């Protein structure tokens, strides 16, 4: 049997790509330490590792963004030099970045054509580009309108644009950097269908993900990296989620944190038909009502941009509520200044921890007293009590196991996980009545994620009312006692954890009530 060497897109396939002994040093860090990695036509090879394990470094080397200090890259057995993204594109390598590399104000066709020579010289040839996009879209089953503006597209559609962009440039090998992080479960399924088709057609795919069940589901082989070193490569059929997790972290890790026991208490936070606007002037919340009780975690599930930010900001006083009421322990706090809401012991772990959670150029000690700096023992008569601040910082650094050279280290020099620990320490150590956690583990590695989740459960078990906003369905399911699904600024439904399945939540997240959905034909 002779296999065609051409892909359906007309490109020559890449039979094998091998990275040998790749070493990359940054000042003070060995980011990649003699790593070997290879991928073949017709397979999905997962690259697994915690933040800072060296996955991105390795892929940036393959894509020509970094240059290795040692090692070589072989394409179909022949050594190649990749010194820029242009080189890698010319070799048939494409990359789907975690943060989409799209220009929202341009159309799909313009995004695809960007940087490519035009068949009309200095003039654009968008009509021809559009035609080719439609061709490719038909071959690979990626429905897309070439004339739509990217800002009009859903996240899933934007990802398709990224895939088309790579295919248009003749990608035979695709690097997918955490492609499922921003998708609904249904969109993930659609992506997997596309990936399976591509693999069948002879493409080679590299799949980077934190989500172990996805790795096990879609990948043929998996390579684990830890601290810049390669731990090993195995067929996924010979491994399990638990084994992979332990391998990746280097110790036993628990997936579903032990939720312990809790007693449900009085209503601490209550929203009654809350409405507010969004930054774009459109309605942000269209009448949201729910209660959060002492001793429970209410999960807010939903696809990014459906009102989560507005919800958190309405409660914390950062956004004006246009109608409806917010009650904290029975008292009306609607549109109170954020400072007064804080005083009533509402703690907030913001989504953008680097922007809203701390001041990058302040020390850890200073960041830890941001909320309480005007009170004793951190200050008196308007003068800071540096000793009090220092003692407080040292205590919290020890208690929350923040990895830092000293309490005077500037926040911006910490890793994402440790920054979150600083925020968590500040917000939790004041024994809040209500905790509002927005995307508390986004971008954190497994170790830090585990820690943050344990702390939230600990707070719930001690009687705090916790509202958890997360786009990660696994997290919602692992932590919540009840789950509210938000869609276009409205709560679609609130379900008990026991009655929630990813499928049911996925439909709600897409704005469909499960009872209205057409029966699935299997």
Binds another protein (CB under 8 A): choice among 46, 47, 53, 89: 89
Which among 101-109, 320-328, 394-402, 512-520 is the span making contact with another protein, rule CB under 8 A? Answer: 101-109
What is the Cα–Cα distance from 108 to 142, expressed in whole angstroms? 13
**Which residue bears the tokens 């399924």?**
189
Nearer to another protein, 113 or 181 (CB): 113
* Contacts with 15 (C-beta within 8 Å, 6 or more apart), sequence order: 40, 41, 76
3-state helix, strand, coil in the chain (%, to 5): 35, 25, 40
Sheet with 78-80, edge to edge strand ranges: 29-40, 16-26, 70-75, 78-80
Give the shortest CB-100-to-another protein separation in angstroms. 8
**Closest distance to another protein from the beta carbon of 56 (Å):** 9
Residues contacting residue 249 through CB under 8 Å, at least 6 positions apart: 50, 226, 446, 447
Report the alpha-carbon distance of residue 204 to residue 119 in Å, rounded. Answer: 29
Footprint on residues 114-173 left by another protein (CB under 8 A): 114-118, 122-124, 165
| Residue 520 within binding range of another protein, rule CB under 8 A | no
Which has the closest alpha carbon to 206: 61, 57, 93?
Answer: 93
DSSP symbols for 507-519 = HHHTT--GGGSPP
**Among positive and negative, which fits the CA dihedral 17, 20, 26, 29?**
positive
Q: Residue 97 interacts with another protein (CB under 8 A)?
A: yes
Contact call for residue 83 and another protein (CB under 8 A): no
Stretch that binds another protein, among 80-88, 244-252, 359-367, 503-511 (CB under 8 A): 80-88
Measured in residues, the chain has a length of 522
Site for another protein in 28-67 (CB under 8 A): 65
What is the total count of residues that contact another protein (CB under 8 A)?
Answer: 27
User: Smallest gap, in angstroms, from Cβ of residue 477 to another protein?
Assistant: 32
Nearer to another protein, 118 or 240 (CB): 118
Residue 102 or 271 having the CB closest to another protein: 102
Q: Does 185 bind another protein (CB under 8 A)?
A: no
Q: Quote the least distance from Cβ 4 to another protein, whole Å.
A: 29
Closer CB to another protein, residue 118 or residue 323? 118
Token pair listed for 41: 């036509």
Sign of CA dihedral 498, 503, 504, 505: positive
102 binds another protein (CB under 8 A): yes
Residue closer to another protein (CB basis): 25 or 97: 97
CB 464 within 8 A of CB 307: no
Least Å from the CB of residue 98 to another protein: 11
| Beta strands, E only, 374-481 | 379-380, 383-384, 434-438, 465-470
- Residues 459 and 467: their CA atoms lie apart, in Å, by 11
Among 105, 242, 431, 496, binds another protein (CB under 8 A): 105
In the list 32, 111, 223, 314, the residue contacting another protein (rule: CB under 8 A) is 111
Run of H or E including 20: strand 16-26
Q: What is the footprint of another protein within residues 470-499 (CB under 8 A)?
A: none
Give the interface segment with another protein, choosing from 82-90, 229-237, 270-278, 420-428 (CB under 8 A).
Answer: 82-90
Which residue, 114 or 139, has its beta carbon nearer to another protein? 114
Q: Which residue among 110, 177, 190, 471 contacts another protein (CB under 8 A)?
A: 110
184 binds another protein (CB under 8 A): no
Does residue 104 touch another protein according to CB under 8 A? yes
Residue 116's CB is within 10 A of a number of other CB atoms, namely 14
Task: Find the radius of gyration of the CA atoms of the chain.
Answer: 25
Sorted by sequence, the CB contacts under 8 Å of residue 47 that are 6+ apart come out as 37, 55, 58, 59, 206, 207, 208, 222, 223, 225
| Residue (117 or 519) nearer to another protein, CB | 117
User: Which residue's CB is nearer to another protein, number 13 or number 169?
Assistant: 169
Among 4, 101, 213, 401, which residue interacts with another protein (rule: CB under 8 A)?
Answer: 101
The CA-based angle 472-504-207, given to 5 degrees, is 40
DSSP assigned state of 404: -
For another protein, the closer CB: 99 or 522: 99
Select from 61, 113, 136, 274 the one that contacts another protein (CB under 8 A): 113
95 interacts with another protein by CB under 8 A: yes
326 forms bridges with which residues in the sheet? 271
Binding site for another protein (CB under 8 A): 65, 84-86, 89, 95, 97, 99-106, 110-111, 113-118, 122-124, 165
């Amino acid at each position: 049997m002779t296999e065609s060497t051409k892909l359906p897109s007309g490109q020559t396939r890449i039979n094998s790509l091998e990275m040998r002994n790749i070493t990359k040093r940054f000042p003070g860090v060995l980011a990649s330490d003699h790593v070997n990695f290879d991928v073949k036509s017709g397979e999905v090879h997962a690259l697994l590792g915690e933040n800072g394990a060296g996955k991105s470094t390795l892929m940036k080397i393959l894509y020509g963004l970094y240059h290795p200090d040692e090692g070589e890259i072989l394409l179909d057995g022949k050594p190649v030099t990749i010194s820029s993204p242009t080189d890698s594109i010319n070799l048939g390598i494409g990359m789907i970045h975690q943060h989409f590399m799209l220009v929202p104000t341009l159309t799909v066709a313009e995004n695809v054509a960007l940087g490519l020579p035009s068949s009309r010289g200095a003039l654009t040839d968008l009509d021809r580009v559009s035609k080719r996009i439609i061709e490719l879209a038909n071959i690979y089953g990626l429905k897309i309108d070439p004339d739509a503006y990217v800002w009009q597209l859903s996240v899933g559609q934007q990802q398709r644009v990224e895939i088309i962009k790579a295919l248009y440039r003749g990608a035979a090998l695709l690097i997918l950097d955490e492609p499922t992080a921003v998708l609904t479960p249904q969109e993930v399924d659609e992506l997997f269908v596309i990936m399976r088709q591509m693999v069948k057609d002879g493409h080679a795919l590299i799949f980077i993900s934190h989500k172990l069940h996805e790795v096990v589901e879609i990948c043929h082989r998996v390579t684990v990296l830890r601290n810049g070193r390669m731990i090993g490569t195995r067929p996924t059929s010979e491994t399990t989620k638990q084994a992979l997790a332990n391998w990746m972290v280097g110790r036993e890790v628990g997936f579903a944190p032990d939720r312990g026991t809790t007693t449900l208490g009085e209503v601490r936070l209550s929203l009654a038909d809350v409405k507010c606007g969004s930054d774009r002037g459109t309605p942000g919340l269209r009448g949201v009502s729910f209660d959060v009780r002492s001793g429970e975690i209410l999960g807010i599930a939903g696809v990014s941009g459906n009102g989560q930010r507005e919800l958190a900001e309405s409660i914390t006083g950062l956004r004006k509520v246009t109608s409806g009421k917010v009650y904290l322990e029975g008292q009306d706090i609607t549109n109170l200044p954020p400072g007064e809401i804080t005083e009533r012991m509402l703690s907030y772990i913001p989504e953008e921890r680097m922007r809203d959670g701390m001041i990058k150029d302040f020390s850890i000690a200073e960041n830890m007293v941001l909320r309480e700096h005007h009170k004793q023992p951190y200050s008196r008569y308007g003068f800071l009590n540096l000793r009090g601040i220092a003692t407080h910082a040292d205590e919290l650094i020890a208690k929350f196991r923040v990895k830092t050279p000293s309490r005077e280290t500037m926040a911006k020099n910490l890793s994402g996980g440790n920054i979150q620990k600083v925020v968590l320490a500040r917000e939790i150590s004041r024994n809040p009545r209500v905790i509002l956690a927005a995307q508390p583990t986004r971008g954190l590695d497994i170790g830090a994620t585990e820690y943050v989740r344990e702390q939230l459960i600990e707070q719930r078990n001690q009687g705090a009312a916790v509202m958890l906003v997360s786009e990660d369905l696994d997290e919602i399911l692992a932590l919540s006692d009840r789950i509210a699904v938000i869609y276009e600024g409205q709560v679609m439904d609130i379900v008990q954890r026991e009655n929630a399945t990813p499928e049911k939540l996925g439909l709600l997240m897409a704005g469909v009530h499960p009872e209205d959905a057409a029966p699935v034909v299997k």
